Structure 1
Amino acid sequence: MKGAWVLLAAFASFTAYYVYLPLPSAIAEPWKLMMLDAVLRSIQDLSNLVHFFGFSHHLRVLNFVSGYMSKLDAESCDNVKVTDTVFDGVQIRIFDPIEKRDKTLKRGVIYLHGGGWTLEGARMRTYDQLCRAVAEGVNAVVVSVEYRILPDVHFPEQLNDALHATKYFLQPDVLAKWSVDPNRIALSGDSSGGNLAAAVCQQLIQDGNAVSKIKLQALIYPVLQVLDFNTPSYQQNMDMPILRRFLMAKFWLHYLNGNSKYVEPMLVNNHTSFDVSQAVALRERLNWSSILPSGIQKHFKPVVQTVGTPELIQEVPAIFDVRASPLIAEKESLKLMPKTYILTCEYDVLRDDGLMYAKRLEDAGVEVTNDHYEDGFHGCMIFADWPLYFSVGARTRDNYIKWLDENL
């Protein structure tokens, strides 16, 4: 009996150690966030363990476990008809509002889910709930794109899937089939999906063959650059749930088909050092000391190395591809962007990616709404329903839908 109590005490101590994180008091519902983060870390640790013993790739395990816990069939309800289909070889889930507010055509929203280019999202509970809410709240046909994911494909295949699906939907006959107004279409996405949405928008605007133009782009805590892992938000929130700096660097390397051994050099910006010629012309577009407000910069200093890791650049040339890092696009390209909504969260490593993109777009003459949440954390908007409810999740989702409804 004494031994059992010792084991119980040891287990309780380990659990408390694993779960507890020293979080800022201003962050939304910190204890609930600790518990959620512990569950997500346990899934990541399990996937890494399976990978270590050679049973399967850790990203496949991560996706399988996440999907097993939350994947939903295409079930329609009283207000929204849900259909799984294929657009130009890409899996799609469509959310079509059943009750029209009037006899005019409906609006359209193309949605690209997040998940580090790794997790299947369109069929997961969190994104299913989000897209239903958007379809009903905006009276819009929501096209949720299930692009191919890591580790089966790498950049630029995820982008190609998103681009092909978008172009397919923009065809006049397809829009007519779904009763969508070709002049009222938004392109949206969160996190890595925000990356794809921004890249697709840039590609479409420059494509003279695009049948219809995007009226709006709405980016939710988007990841927009791979060149600087020491922006103030990366430094401030490097160990913050749900997306730590180390994990974001790993996601980037997987996406760009690089070796994980380069994580540490990337974390100290060895890939954009002074001796890397490709980085010289791009550095000014990422000079956060001149782009971000002083209140955001706080006491943080830029990190630029004198000598870098040349083999990293040679093995991962896509690091400097604007399709991977939409933030580094030239000003002439940014001038062509549509009216933009960017949601950012204070306790998110990607906060400054969004803030810098908002500023660069504004400087290029684009109308931008930056919706910033002082108590927000990465991924919060998909946690707006039971059983993963956060008040900041509900607020971000409601305000996002309100903006779409008022501007689309």
Structure 2
Amino acid sequence: MAAAFTLLVLFLAAFVAGFILLVLGAINFDISNSDIPPGVNQPVKLRIVHVILISRAVVQGKILENLGICSQVSFVRYMQSRKTRGADPKLFIKDLWFEQVPVRIYQPKAPSANQRRGVLFFHGGGWVFGSLETHDKLCRYMARESDSVVVSVGYRLAPEHKYPAAYEDCLDATVHFMKNTEHYGVDPASVIVCGDSAGGNLAAAVSQTLAGRSDLPRLRAQILIYPGLQALDFNLPSYQQNQGVPLLFRECAAFYVLQYLNGNASNLEEVLEGSHISMDIKLNYMKWVNPDNIPKKFKVRGYKPHVLLDCPTDVYETVRRYCEPNLCPLLAEDAVVQQLPETFILTCEYDVLRDDGLLYKKRLEDNGVQVTWYHLEDGFHGIINPFDNDWLSFSSGKKGLDNIRNFLKSL
């Protein structure tokens, strides 16, 4: 009995020691790699969130991968896939398949005299992470607070499923829904696509594809929440200013795009320095992807013009699809952009993807598209996601979400 008790004490001591080392390792990683500017909303809380994410993804996942138990990516996805909530008193929630794509539908229970609006939601996560579970609370909120039918799309993830798999799944699910809106009490003229981060990229790409379809009703609107919209220039002002700001580092942004495009990050250095695209192509798209198109007030925190570098042929061959609008919606032709529906764009000051949103805003407005823009002056990438966590939510993120809700209700 005494021996068993001793073993238990030793086990608990080892567990506590391991946990402490885990936390200390995550804190050290955060301090060594992140740079949180003074203007960020609730910076201490951001560090805590970042340390939690590092503990789970970088430390725990890497340990399990080194032990041969599972890959780091698999571990993070497993942790994200755990269900956190059951039934909702105000919503009917059901998991279905649209064609070959898993979806989760949120329908308000309250009767409605009129057909409701429908929202196709594409989750973020760099095309590598994210699921129906990670954005479940957000979709519930949108359905309840805007009295809309929300369809969350569980598209295929990279690197197992490379571009254009995620885009094709989102497009297929959207088309299926638009052809069957009567089954869900949705007005076919009031369908909106929406997404955050990589999901914003997918929403923009789907919206562009559907803009020229005559066999479907026109989309009512698109909602792009800190979207990533181009992969030509990772040295725009926002990438330079916010390269070490959690929750999305500059290097990670490029890494995720490469995972989506090629299933690996073998050309990461070339992408970061800008030598992955040939000079003639860069010059062709300079009219749209250009720091000169960013208002001066967004450069006051510092910006150093980047020297244009030419691209080795072998590198370009591996990333040449970077110029396809379905991957980089910012590169779509004017004829397509002119047909896009009313748009809501949310950007954050301390986000590497800020300038993607600003450049797209300008393109839309230059082509006569109505844009509602909301900028979180103290926001950072991913600030909306923990909106309903009592301890880890951010006041600025709640303001951003309120504006999204208000925009939806105005449609």
TM-score by length of 2: 0.89
1:258, distance to aligned residue in structure 2 (A): 5.1
Q: Tell me, yes or no, if the aligned pair for 2:348 and 2:378 is still in contact at 8 Å.
A: yes
Q: Tell me, yes or no, if the aligned pair for 1:111 and 1:189 is still in contact at 8 Å.
A: yes
Q: Which residue of 2 aligns with 1:236?
A: 241
Q: Which residue of 1 aligns with 2:127?
A: 117
Q: Deviations over 1:360-388 (max 9, x none)?
A: 10000001011000110101111111253
> Which residue of 49, 66, 89 corresponds with 1:36?
49
- 2:350 maps to amino acid: Y
Q: Which residue of 1 aligns with 2:376?
A: 373
Instruction: Give the direction of change, closer, same or farther, for the CA distance of 1:296–1:338 in structure 2 (3 Å limit).
Output: same
Q: Tell me, yes or no, if the aligned pair for 1:92 and 1:143 is still in contact at 8 Å.
A: yes
2-structure distance, mates of 1:36, 1:195: 24
Q: Which residue of 2 aligns with 1:136?
A: 144
- 1:108 maps to amino acid: G
1:311, distance to aligned residue in structure 2 (A): 1.7
Which segment drifts farther, 111-120 or 36-45?
A: 36-45
2-structure distance, mates of 1:395, 1:218: 16
Q: Tell me, yes or no, if the aligned pair for 2:277 and 2:310 is still in contact at 8 Å.
A: no
Unaligned runs of 5+ in 1: none
2-structure distance, mates of 1:304, 1:131: 42
Instruction: Give the direction of change, closer, same or farther, for the CA distance of 1:13–1:98 in structure 2 (3 Å limit).
Output: closer
SS at match of 1:270: coil
Q: Which residue of 2 aligns with 1:96?
A: 107
> Which residue of 207, 220, 228 corresponds with 2:225?
220
Which segment drifts farther, 45-54 or 149-158?
A: 45-54
SS at match of 2:45: helix
Q: Deviations over 1:228-255 (max 9, x none)?
A: 0001000000010000011111101100
> Which residue of 329, 339, 346 corresponds with 1:343?
346
2-structure distance, mates of 1:112, 1:29: 27
Instruction: Give the direction of change, closer, same or farther, for the CA distance of 1:283–1:105 in structure 2 (3 Å limit).
Output: same
Q: Which residue of 1 aligns with 2:397?
A: 393
Q: Tell me, yes or no, if the aligned pair for 1:217 and 1:339 is still in contact at 8 Å.
A: yes
Which segment drifts farther, 326-335 or 188-197?
A: 326-335
Instruction: Give the direction of change, closer, same or farther, for the CA distance of 1:159–1:145 in structure 2 (3 Å limit).
Output: same
1:344, distance to aligned residue in structure 2 (A): 0.2
Instruction: Give the direction of change, closer, same or farther, for the CA distance of 1:267–1:53 in structure 2 (3 Å limit).
Output: farther
% identity of equivalent residues: 36
- 1:362 maps to amino acid: E
1:332, distance to aligned residue in structure 2 (A): 1.5
In the alignment, does 2:170 pair up with 1:162? yes
SS at match of 1:160: helix
TM-score by length of 1: 0.90
Q: Tell me, yes or no, if the aligned pair for 1:97 and 1:141 is still in contact at 8 Å.
A: yes
SS at match of 1:370: strand
2-structure distance, mates of 1:212, 1:72: 36
1:331, distance to aligned residue in structure 2 (A): 1.3
- 2:77 maps to amino acid: N
1:261, distance to aligned residue in structure 2 (A): 2.5
1:60, distance to aligned residue in structure 2 (A): 2.4
1-structure distance, mates of 2:187, 2:24: 58
Instruction: Give the direction of change, closer, same or farther, for the CA distance of 1:104–1:307 in structure 2 (3 Å limit).
Output: closer
1-structure distance, mates of 2:97, 2:80: 23
Unaligned runs of 5+ in 2: 1-12
Please provide the CA RMSD for this pair: 2.2
1:39-118 alignment to 2 at 5 Å? Answer: 39-46=52-59, 47-51=61-65, 56-68=70-82, 71-72=83-84, 75-100=86-111, 102-118=112-128
Q: Which residue of 2 aligns with 1:285?
A: 288
Q: Tell me, yes or no, if the aligned pair for 1:225 and 1:326 is still in contact at 8 Å.
A: yes
1:247-286 alignment to 2 at 5 Å? Answer: 247-257=252-262, 259-274=264-279, 277-286=280-289
SS at match of 1:271: coil
1-structure distance, mates of 2:203, 2:35: 34
SS at match of 1:285: coil
In the alignment, does 2:210 pair up with 1:186? no
2-structure distance, mates of 1:310, 1:245: 25
Which segment drifts farther, 396-405 or 15-24?
A: 15-24
Q: Tell me, yes or no, if the aligned pair for 2:278 and 2:316 is still in contact at 8 Å.
A: no
Aligned length: 389
Which segment drifts farther, 383-392 or 220-229?
A: 383-392
Q: Which residue of 2 aligns with 1:206?
A: 212
1:204, distance to aligned residue in structure 2 (A): 0.6
